[in-house]
Structure 1
Amino acid sequence: MARRLRSVDLDFIESAPLRLVFAAEVSAPPETVYRALADDVAGWPNWFTSVRAARPTEDGAGREVRLMGGTVLRESILAAEPCERYTYRVDESSAPGPKALLEEWRLTPAGTGTRVQWTFAADGSATFRFALRLGRPGMGRAFRDAVRNLDRRLAGSGT
C-alpha cells in the first residue's frame, strides 16, 4: 500500500531533520555521469544494486523505483541541471515510517573525472530516523559500491 509523503521543495535538502551525505569520485566526466543518472533511469539496476527496477514516468518528470526488499517509490524530479545536479522527491512510498524524502546527486569536476555527492534528506517517525542513523554505514557502502559499479560501467561504454 502506497503512503503519500509530504511534498517538499529543494530547500529541504538543507532543512531536513536528517541528512546523510556521501561522496566518491569516478573517472568519467560530469556530462557522462549526468546522462547515466538522469537520462538512463532504466539502467540504474545495472550499477546500483539496491535498485531492482526503475523507469521514468510522466514524460520524464517522474520516476518509479523498485528497491531490493520490495519497497516501491514514486518520485518527482525537482532539479535536472546537466553536469551539475539531479534531485528528486519521493511522493509515495510503500515503506512505513518516512514522512518526507528528497535525494540529490551533485556532480563536480575533479581532474578529468567527477566528484559525485549523494545527499539523502529525510523526515519521518522517530523509529524511521533512528533506523536511518543506524543504517548510515550500510547506506554509505551501498553508495560507494554503486559509484564504483557506475565508474566501471561508464569506462566500459567507451566514454
Structure 2
Amino acid sequence: MTTEFLESAPVRVVAEERLTSGPDALFRELTDDASTWPSWFGAIRRASYTGPPPYGVGAGRAVKLVGGIRFVESVLVWEEPRRFVYRIEETNLLGAHAWLEEWLLTPDGDGTSVRFTMAIEGHAMIELPTHAARSLVERSCRTAMHKLDARAGRRAQVS
C-alpha cells in the first residue's frame, strides 16, 4: 500500500485545524516520544515505539486505544517537519484490510495548519460504523490537535 491510498480509500476521515505552534515543535511532539500520545489524544491509552532510536521511516509503534483496540504500526513517511505517515500492520479490530494515517503540517503565518487523514478499507462491519462516527472522530482529532498544540507551546517555553 502506498500513500496514494490516503486519497483513494473507501473511508476517509479528515480533520483540519489551525494551531499556534510552528511545524517544527508540532512535529517533535508527534514523533519524538510515542509514549506521550495518551496525554494529548484521549482515545489512546498507551503508545510506544517498538525499537530503539533513532526513529524514522520503518520504525514500528504499538498503540492501545480505549476499549482494548490494539495496533502495530510502521512509519512510511517521516518528512520533518511537514509530514508523518504510518500504516496499521496488525490490529485486533476485525474487518480492517488496509489502514493508513497521515499528519500534514503546513506553515500558516506564525502558526501551522494541521490536517489529519485516516484512510481505511475493510468489511462493511468496519466501514459503516466509521462513516457513521465520522463527525465524532473528527471532533476527537481536533480536540487532540489543540492539546498537542498546548504541549508544544509549553515545551517551547521551557527551551
Q: Judge same fold: TM > 0.5, yes or no.
A: yes
Matched-pair identity in %? 38
Which residue type is aligned with residue 150 of structure 1?
A: L
* Residue matched to 1:142: 140
Unaligned runs of 5+ in 2: none
Per the TM alignment, residue 96 of structure 1 is displaced from its structure 2 partner at its CA by 1.2
Asked if 1:29 corresponds to 2:22, the answer is yes
Name which of 5, 8, 13 aligns with 1:20: 13
**Contact between 2:85 and 2:101, CA under 8 Å: does it hold in 1?**
yes
Equivalents in 2 of 1:103, 1:148: separation in Å?
Answer: 18
Per the TM alignment, residue 40 of structure 1 is displaced from its structure 2 partner at its CA by 2.0
Per the TM alignment, residue 138 of structure 1 is displaced from its structure 2 partner at its CA by 0.7
Equivalents in 1 of 2:85, 2:150: separation in Å?
Answer: 23
* Residue matched to 1:99: 97
Paired residue total: 152
Per the TM alignment, residue 20 of structure 1 is displaced from its structure 2 partner at its CA by 1.3
Deviates more, 1:72-81 or 1:56-65: 56-65
Root-mean-square deviation (Å): 1.1
* Residue matched to 1:4: none
Equivalents in 2 of 1:154, 1:39: separation in Å?
Answer: 12
Residues 30-84 of structure 1 deviation map (CA, whole Å, 9 limit, x = unaligned): 0000011111211111100111010011343110001011111000100000011
Asked if 1:54 corresponds to 2:47, the answer is yes
Q: Secondary structure at the match of 1:99?
A: strand
Which residue type is aligned with residue 18 of structure 1?
A: V
Give 1:1-159 correspondences, 5 Å limit. 8-59=1-52, 60=55, 61-157=59-155, 158=157
List, as ranges, runs of 4+ consecutive aligned residues in structure 1 with deviation greater than 3 Å. none
TM-score by length of 1: 0.91
Q: Secondary structure at the match of 1:89?
A: strand
**Contact between 2:15 and 2:139, CA under 8 Å: does it hold in 1?**
no
Per the TM alignment, residue 126 of structure 1 is displaced from its structure 2 partner at its CA by 1.3
Q: Secondary structure at the match of 1:75?
A: strand
TM-score by length of 2: 0.91
Unaligned runs of 5+ in 1: 1-7
